Chain A
Amino acid sequence: MYLDYASSTPVDSRVLGFANPFLSSHFGNPSTLHSYGLKAKEAVENARQKVADLINASADDKIIFTSSATEANNLAIIGCSLRNIAKGKNVIASNIEHISVLNPMKSLSKQGFKFNIIPVDSMGIVKIDALKQVLGKDTVVTSIMYANNEIGTIEPIKEISEIVHNKGLYLHVDATAAAGKIPIDVQEDGIDLLTLSSNDLYGPRGAGAVFVKKGVGIQSVMLGGGQEKGLRSGTENIFAIAGMGEAARIANEEMEEESKRLSKIRDRLIKEILKIDEAYLTGHPVQRLPHHASFRFSRIEGESILLNMDMAHQIQISTGSACSSKTLEASHVLLAIGLKHEEAHGSMVITLGHSNDLKQVPTVVDAVRQTVDRLRKLSPL
């Protein structure tokens, strides 16, 4: 039973059916003028419109396809900061941003930018006062995620947008975790730059996108043949782009119903799992992604939880435990919400998707309970 949709989603069969011809029969290069090229170009423009519709971008705004959300975050942050360097050399991000936001910011700080990191509260909401304090006229890019992938917390983006635009210049929003789960309206929310990922939408890997509001200056990071309006050189990955577009269209159509369905499963899971001794919710209890349930358990370690759930119960979950990461560092998100290292070790993240239903809840809860019991019996704590 797969409960790790935030890590990866399968490609929706409708998406696969739609995009498959672009791997074989419609293989043209959109930069060429013959009919094969035109067919491919049409596919890219069609996908662009579908992605724009998902976030309610206007016809004057840009959607730039990239290879991933990571590349999209790099392009948005580095591309916008460098393009607007004459206006200021300050950048801001919250301390729960994805590493593909934090690392470009750190790289800018080595090129003379001042990088301010702002904290979040114990539920993962950005501390508005701290943001106000560091914002200045010379703050070119402020990057706050729409929702966090590890703790599910949804940020008050509209409020943040007003604050950012009151003093600083541009707001970048990483919507990788939120898109397709909750409605996003870049016009209503006042967003200048926004990152999207295909494989979080049941689209193929190998595509991401940046929304760039009309009038927001940005320069390319990838140099070459000038594809994507000169902002992302490299021959377009038509299969992934067409798939991402179709995935965005389906998400837009089905989000309301699907999110309602998933939030019922989520609420039941949270209610039942919190009955386990010394189990705690991580993230916000209400301002939370509809498919996201995250916990921590005292006295046990997350990698062991993951392994035991997988091997003994055939249930796939995720953890922010240091021991399961390549760097062996505790999740920066869990530390940011104020957990101690020993608390962050015992985390478990469930993210729901298409294949899950309410009937699975007792099985999951039972498996979690058995896993926690077994590991606690092994534990000297």
Chain B
Amino acid sequence: MADIGYSDKVLDHFMKPRNVGTIENPDGYGKVGNPVCGDLMEMYIKVKDNRITEIKFKTFGCGSAIATSSMITEMVKGMNIDEALKVTRNDVATELDGLPPQKMHCSNLAADALHNAIMDYKKKRELK
């Protein structure tokens, strides 16, 4: 991809992010990044029969941080949690028609936040 900025899809998800917010008493909660680096993401999920039935996020960060968060919530809603664990950063970027090269690592953390939320769910379930 030519390095000329964001794709239309990235801009669309930045301007109209899907599934913004928090979930009270989530089944799983994941958080990655920190404000010092300029990106912080929180992911909340509800799980039923091993499927993600509800997902919400809150993100502090640049355009691609917000867009990747929004995109992944759309990608995994309704998905089996073990399948969702296989969704990679690259998959999110591809689904957004690519990210500028310098953004591939720093702001593409949504998959990590989701994985953390799923692992949190699994851990809680084991404890029960």
Residues of A that sit less than 8 Å from B by CB: 299-301, 303-304, 307-308, 311-312, 321-324, 326, 328, 330, 340-342, 345, 377-381
Task: Please give, as numbers and ranges, the residues of chain A lying within 8 Å of B62 by CB-CB distance.
Answer: 301, 303-304, 321, 323-324
Task: Please give, as numbers and ranges, the residues of chain A lying within 8 Å of B40 by CB-CB distance.
Answer: 379-381
Q: Judge if B11 is at the interface, Cβ distance under 8 Å.
A: yes
Task: Please give, as numbers and ranges, the residues of chain B lying within 8 Å of A377 by CB-CB distance.
Answer: 20
Interchain residue pairs A-B with the least CB separation, the first 10: A323-B62, A380-B58, A303-B62, A342-B35, A379-B60, A380-B42, A341-B36, A345-B38, A307-B63, A323-B38
Q: Judge if B107 is at the interface, Cβ distance under 8 Å.
A: yes
Whether B102 and A304, one on each chain, are in contact in the complex, defined by CB atoms closer than 8 angstroms, is no
Closest Cβ neighbor of B103 among chain A residues: A323
Shortest Cβ gap from B25 to chain A (Å): 17
Query: How extensive is the interface on chain B, given as a class?
Result: 20 to 34
Closest Cβ neighbor of B102 among chain A residues: A328
- Given A304-B66, A378-B66: A322 in contact with B59 (beta carbons within 8 A): no
Task: Please give, as numbers and ranges, the residues of chain A lying within 8 Å of B61 by CB-CB distance.
Answer: 301, 304, 323
Contact mask for chain B residues 42-68; partner A; CB cutoff 8 A; 1 contact, 0 none = 100000000000000011111101100
Whether A378 and B35, one on each chain, are in contact in the complex, defined by CB atoms closer than 8 angstroms, is no
Q: Judge if B75 is at the interface, Cβ distance under 8 Å.
A: no
Q: Judge if B17 is at the interface, Cβ distance under 8 Å.
A: yes
In the complex, given contacts A377-B20, A378-B60, A381-B40, what are 9 additional A-B residue pairs having Cβ atoms less than 8 angstroms apart? A311-B15, A312-B15, A328-B106, A345-B35, A378-B58, A378-B59, A379-B40, A380-B58, A380-B60
Whether A323 and B107, one on each chain, are in contact in the complex, defined by CB atoms closer than 8 angstroms, is yes
A341 to B40, CA, bound (A): 13
Task: Please give, as numbers and ranges, the residues of chain A lying within 8 Å of B20 by CB-CB distance.
Answer: 377-378
The A-B contact count (CB < 8 A) is: 71
Shortest Cβ gap from A205 to chain B (Å): 19
A300 to B35, CA, bound (A): 9
18 sampled A-B residue pairs with Cβ under 8 A? A301-B60, A307-B14, A312-B15, A323-B39, A323-B65, A323-B106, A326-B102, A328-B106, A340-B36, A341-B35, A341-B36, A342-B35, A342-B36, A377-B20, A378-B17, A379-B58, A380-B40, A381-B40
A308 to B11, CA, bound (A): 10
Contact mask for chain B residues 80-117; partner A; CB cutoff 8 A; 1 contact, 0 none = 00000000000000000000001000110000000000
A322 to B58, CA, bound (A): 20
A377 to B14, CA, bound (A): 13
Q: Judge if B41 is at the interface, Cβ distance under 8 Å.
A: yes
Which of A326, A341, A380 has the largest number of chain B CB atoms within 10 A?
Answer: A380
Of B36, B42, B63, B106, which contacts A304 at CB under 8 A?
B63
